[in-house]
C-alpha cells in the first residue's frame, strides 16, 4: 500500500522509460514493493514464454501507472490496493472506462500489530493503547508516552492511521512516528532481537509475518457510518474533520490493465483476468525478495518454471 | 504499575544476558537512561558516566552486553547493512543467515539525535577531527581545535571513522572510535555514534563504502530526521 502516492515524485524519471514503451509489445508497471516486483516479473516471463511477445517491466508508482494506462503508455499494473486507491479506480475504471480491473482479488489486511512480547504483556486490543500504563510499555524516550511507527510520510494509509489514533484516543498516550518502511521494520527486528515490546502499523500480505511472530491488535469492525476520512491532500483541516474509530475496511488488491488490451492483445487480457495469486504466495514472494535477497527477475523465472500448470491454466 | 511492567520487561532481557555470561552486572533501560542491575544490592542503578568509569576501572572493559558479539538477528535488510538502535545502545552489522554482529555504542545527548536512512559515504583511519562551528562556539576545549585536530590516540574520533552521507551530501554525522571506551552505553556524544576503538576497527574492516545505514527512531521523539 505502500498506499503511496509517492509515485508522483518520479514523473521525470519515468518519462524516459515510457518513451521506450513502443519498442515492446507490452509494458508492465512495477510497484516498488517486493510482491509487486515479483508478480510483474512473473507476468513478463510467463507471457514472453507462452506468447513470444516482448514485455518491458518499468518501475513506477500507482498514480503514474494509472495515468500511463489511461494514455496508452502503460498496459498492466499488478497490484491495485483497495480501498486505498478507490478514487483512481472510480475515475479511470468506472468513469472513463480506460482501465479494467481483473476479477480476482487478493485479500489483504491493514491495522496495528504487536510482537509476541507485547502481546504477552497484555497489549491485545487497540483500546489497550489508550491505557497510559500499557502505552508506557512502548516508551523509548522517557516522556511517559509510547512510540509507534504508523507508516511512511506520503503514504495515504499514514494519514488514515493518524485519524484512527485521534479517533480511538491513543494519540494522547502514544507518539506517532513517520519514517520510511525500512526504518519501521528494522525497529521491529531490533525489538525482537532484544525481547522488547513494540507496536506498529502493519499490512499483509507482508514478509514480516514470516520473519517474526506477529499478532494483530483486535478492534471494532469496519463501519461505514463511522468511517469519515478526509485526506491531507484534500483539506488542510483534514485531521480535525475526520473520525474513524473502527477497523479498516477489508482490503484487497487486484491486477489492472488498459481496457484497450482486450482488442489489441486479447490473449494477454484473458491471461491477466485469470491470474490468481493466493495471499500465501504473495507473502512468499515478499520474503524471497526482501529476506532471501533474490532478484525479482530470478525469482520470476524460478516461479514460472516451478508452476507450469498454473501458468498453463492462465493461458487457456 | 507501568514502571513495574517496564522494569520486568527489561529484567527478562537483562537477566538472560547476565545468566549467559556470569558477570556481576546486567543492563536495562528506563526511558533514556541506561541502568545496570547490581546483584549485591539487588537494585537497579543508573549507568551514568561515573558508574561507567567505575565499572571500566574494575573490569578493564565495558559490561558484557556492550561487547562485540554475534547474535541472532532476523531482518529483511541485506548483509552489510548497519542498523543503529540508539535507545538500546547497540549497532548491528547484518550478516548472512539471519545473524548480526552487535556492538555497544555511545549515542548523542538529547537534542543531538537523529533517525533515518543514510549510507557510508567514506571512511578514514585515525581521522582528523574538526569540531562543528556550534561546538566551537559553546565549548572552549573544542575551540582550541577549530582548525582541525590530527588523528591519534587522544583524538575524539578514535581509530576509524565512517562518514554518513545522504545521497552525495555529508550529514556531518559519523560512526567513530573513542579514546574514552567507558562511555559506551551512555548518551554523551554530539549526535555521533561512538564505539570503542577495537570495535570501530572491526566494523571498518567489514563495511563497504556505500553501505546502507538505518538509524532507528526508537527513542526518537527527540530526534530530528536527517
Cβ pair A147:B221 closer than 8 A: yes
Subunit contact A183:B75, Cβ cutoff 8 A: no
**Is B192 known to be catalytic?**
yes
Closest CA to A112 of A210, A202, A198, A191: A202
The reply to whether B62 falls in a domain is no
Write out chain B residues lying below 8 Å of A117, CB-based.
9
Give the Cα separation of A147 and B50 in Å (integer): 29
Given this model, what pLDDT does residue B44 score? 61
What pLDDT, in 10s, does the model give residues A159-206? 999 999 999 999 999 999 998 899 999 999 999 999 999 999 999 989
Structural domains in chain A, CATH included, are 5-106+252-315 (3.40.190.10), 108-241 (3.40.190.100)
* E strand or H helix at A191: helix A181-193
Question: Is pLDDT of A255 > 50?
Answer: yes
| C-alpha grid cell, residue A77 | 499494473
Instruction: Report the number of distinct structural domains present in chain B.
Output: 2
Q: Is residue B39 located within the same domain as residue B89?
A: no
Q: Does residue B53 lie within any of the structural domains? A: no
- Report the C-alpha gap between B126 and A291 in whole angstroms: 35
Whether the CB of B100 is below 8 Å from some CB of chain A: the reply is yes
Query: Which pairing describes strands A99-101 and A251-258: parallel, antiparallel, or unpaired?
Result: antiparallel
B77 and B38, same structural domain? no
**What residues of chain A have any CB closer than 8 angstroms to a CB in chain B?**
117, 121, 132-134, 136-137, 139-143, 145, 147, 149, 175, 177, 179-180, 182-187, 189-198, 207-208, 211-212, 290-291, 293
Same domain, B112 and B10: no
A27-31, A137-141, B32-36: least confident range: B32-36
Residue B116 is predicted with a pLDDT of 86
Provide the 3-class DSSP secondary structure of residue B7. Answer: helix
Q: Which pLDDT belongs to residue B140?
A: 87
B142 contacts B135 by C-beta, under 8 angstroms? yes
Q: How far apart are the CA of B205 and the nearest CA of chain A, in angstroms?
A: 23
Residue B54 lies in a domain: no
Rg of chain A over all Cα atoms, to the nearest angstrom: 20
Per-residue pLDDT tens over the stretch A263-295: 999 999 999 999 999 999 999 999 999 888 899
- Say yes or no: B98 and B203 in one domain: yes
Say yes or no: B21 and B73 in one domain: no
Residue B179: inside a domain, yes or no? yes
Which of A189, A214, A283 is the mutation pick for testing B, counting most B CBs within 10 A?
A: A189
Residue A23: is it exposed, middle or buried by C-beta count within 10 angstroms (0-12/13-18/19+)?
exposed
Q: Is residue B39 part of a domain?
A: yes
Residues B82, B136 within the same domain: yes
Instruction: Say if residues A272 and A43 touch (Cβ distance below 8 Å).
Output: yes
Question: In terms of pLDDT, which residue wins out, A29 or B65?
Answer: A29
Q: Does residue B56 form part of some domain?
A: no
CB burial class (10 A; 0-12, 13-18, 19+) of residue B150? exposed
Q: Encode pLDDT of A101-138 as tens digits.
A: 999 999 999 999 999 999 999 999 999 999 999 999 99
| Residue B181 pLDDT | 82
CATH at B211: 2.40.440.10
Backbone region of residue B184 per phi and psi (left: phi > 0; alpha: psi in -120 to 50; beta: other values)? beta
The whole domain housing B17 covers: 2-47
The tens digit of pLDDT for each residue in A61-92 reads 889 999 999 999 999 999 999 988 888 999 99
Size of interface A-B (CB pairs under 8 A): 123
Domain membership of residue B160 (yes or no) is yes
Measure the N-to-C terminal CA separation of chain A; round to a whole number of Å.
Answer: 31
Do B38 and B74 belong to one domain? no
CA distance linking residue A41 with residue A299, whole number of Å: 8
Position B33 scores a pLDDT of 59
pLDDT at A246: 98
Task: Write down the pLDDT at residue B127.
Answer: 93
Q: What average pLDDT score do residues A31-53 get?
A: 94
Does B176 qualify as catalytic in the annotation?
Answer: yes
Same-domain pairing of B112 and B156: yes
Residues B116 and B74 in one domain: yes
Nearest to A70 by CA among A99, A90, A107: A99
For residue B217, is it within any domain?
yes
Q: What percent of chain A has pLDDT over 90?
A: 79
- Say yes or no: B80 contacts chain A, CB-CB below 8 A: no
Q: What is the pLDDT along chain B (226 residues), one digit of tens a residue?
A: 222 222 222 222 222 222 222 223 344 444 445 665 555 666 666 777 777 777 788 888 887 888 899 999 999 999 999 999 888 889 999 999 999 999 998 886 653 457 889 999 999 999 998 887 888 888 888 888 888 999 988 888 899 999 999 888 998 888 999 888 877 877 766 658 889 999 999 999 999 999 999 999 876 544 443 3
Residue B14 exposure: Cα atoms within 13 Å on the Cβ side: 23
**Average pLDDT along chain A:** 90
Contact A141 B32 (CB under 8 A): yes
On whether both B77 and B176 belong to a single domain, the answer is yes
Same domain, B111 and B193: yes
Statement to judge: residues B117 and B173 lie in one domain:
yes
Amino acid at each position: 500500500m505502500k498506499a503511496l502516492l509517492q509515485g508522483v515524485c518520479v514523473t521525470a524519471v519515468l518519462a524516459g522509460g515510457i518513451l521506450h514503451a513502443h519498442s515492446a509489445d507490452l509494458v508492465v508497471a512495477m510497484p516498488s514493493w517486493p510482491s509487486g516486483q515479483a508478480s510483474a516479473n512473473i507476468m513478463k516471463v510467463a507471457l514472453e514464454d507462452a506468447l513470444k511477445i516482448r514485455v518491458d517491466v518499468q518501475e513506477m508508482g500507482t498514480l503514474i501507472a494509472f495515468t500511463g494506462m489511461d494514455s496508452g503508455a502503460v498496459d498492466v499494473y499488478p497490484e491495485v490496493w483497495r480501498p486505498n486507491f478507490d478514487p483512481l479506480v472510480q475515475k479511470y475504471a468506472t468513469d472513463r472506462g480506460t482501465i479494467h480491473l481483473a476479477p480476482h482479488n487478493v485479500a489483504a489486511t491493514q491495522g496495528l500489530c504487536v510482537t509476541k512480547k507485547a502481546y504477552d504483556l497484555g497489549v491485545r486490543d487497540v483500546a489497550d493503547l489508550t491505557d497510559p500504563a500499557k502505552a508506557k510499555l512502548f516508551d523509548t524516550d522517557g516522556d511517559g508516552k509510547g512510540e509507534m511507527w504508523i507508516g511512511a510520510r506520503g503514504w495515504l494509509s499514514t494519514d488514515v492511521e493518524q485519524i484512527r489514533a485521534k479517533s480511538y484516543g491513543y494519540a494522547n498516550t502514544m507518539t506517532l512516528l513517520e519514517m520510511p518502511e525500512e526504518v519501521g521494520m528494522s525497529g521491529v527486528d531490533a525489538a525482537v532481537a532484544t525481547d522488547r515490546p513494540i507496536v506498529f502499523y502493519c499490512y499483509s500480505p507482508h514478509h514480516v509475518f514470516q520473519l517474526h511472530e506477529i499478532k494483530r491488535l483486535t478492534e471494532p469492525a469496519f463501519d461505514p457510518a463511522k468511517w469519515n476520512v478526509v485526506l491531507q491532500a484534500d483539506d488542510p483541516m483534514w485531521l480535525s474533520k475526520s473520525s474513524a474509530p473502527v477497523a479498516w475496511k477489508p482490503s484487497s488488491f487486484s491486477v489492472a490493465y488498459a481496457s484497450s488490451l482486450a482488442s489489441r492483445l486479447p490473449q494477454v487480457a484473458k491471461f491477466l483476468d485469470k491470474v490468481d495469486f493466493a495471499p500465501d504466495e504473495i507473502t512468499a514472494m515478499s520474503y524471497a525478495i526482501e529476506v532471501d535477497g533474490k532478484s525479482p527477475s530470478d525469482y520470476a523465472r524460478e516461479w514460472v518454471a516451478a508452476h507450469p500448470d498454473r501458468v498453463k491454466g492462465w493461458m487457456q | 504499575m507501568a514502571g513495574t511492567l517496564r522494569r520486568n520487561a527489561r529484567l527478562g532481557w537483562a537477566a538472560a544476558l547476565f545468566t549467559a555470561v556470569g558477570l556481576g552486572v546486567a543492563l536495562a533501560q528506563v526511558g533514556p537512561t541506561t541502568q545496570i542491575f547490581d546483584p549485591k544490592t539487588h537494585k537497579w542503578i543508573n549507568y551514568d558516566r561515573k558508574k561507567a568509569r567505575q565499572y571500566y576501572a574494575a573490569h578493564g572493559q565495558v559490561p558484557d552486553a556492550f561487547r562485540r558479539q554475534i547474535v541472532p538477528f532476523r531482518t529483511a535488510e541485506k548483509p552489510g547493512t548497519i542498523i543503529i538502535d540508539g535507545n538500546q545502545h547497540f549497532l548491528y552489522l547484518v550478516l548472512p543467515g539471519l545473524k548480526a554482529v552487535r556492538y555497544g555504542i555511545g549515542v548523542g545527548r538529547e537534542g543531538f539525535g537523529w533517525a533515518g536512512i543514510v549510507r557510508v559515504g567514506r571512511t578514514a583511519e585515525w581521522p582528523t577531527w574538526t569540531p562543528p562551528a556550534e561546538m566551537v562556539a559553546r565549548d572552549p576545549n573544542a575551540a582550541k581545535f577549530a582548525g582541525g585536530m590530527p588523528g591519534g590516540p587522544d583524538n575524539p574520533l578514535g581509530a576509524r571513522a565512517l562518514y554518513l552521507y545522504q545521497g552525495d551530501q555529508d550529514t556531518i554525522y559519523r560512526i567513530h572510535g573513542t579514546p574514552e571506551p567507558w562511555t559506551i552505553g551512555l548518551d554523551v556524544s554530539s549526535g555521533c555514534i561512538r564505539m570503542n576503538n577495537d570495535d570501530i576497527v572491526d566494523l571498518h574492516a567489514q563495511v563497504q563504502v556505500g553501505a546502507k545505514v538505518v538509524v532507528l527512531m526508537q527513542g526518537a521523539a527527540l530526534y530530528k530526521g536527517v
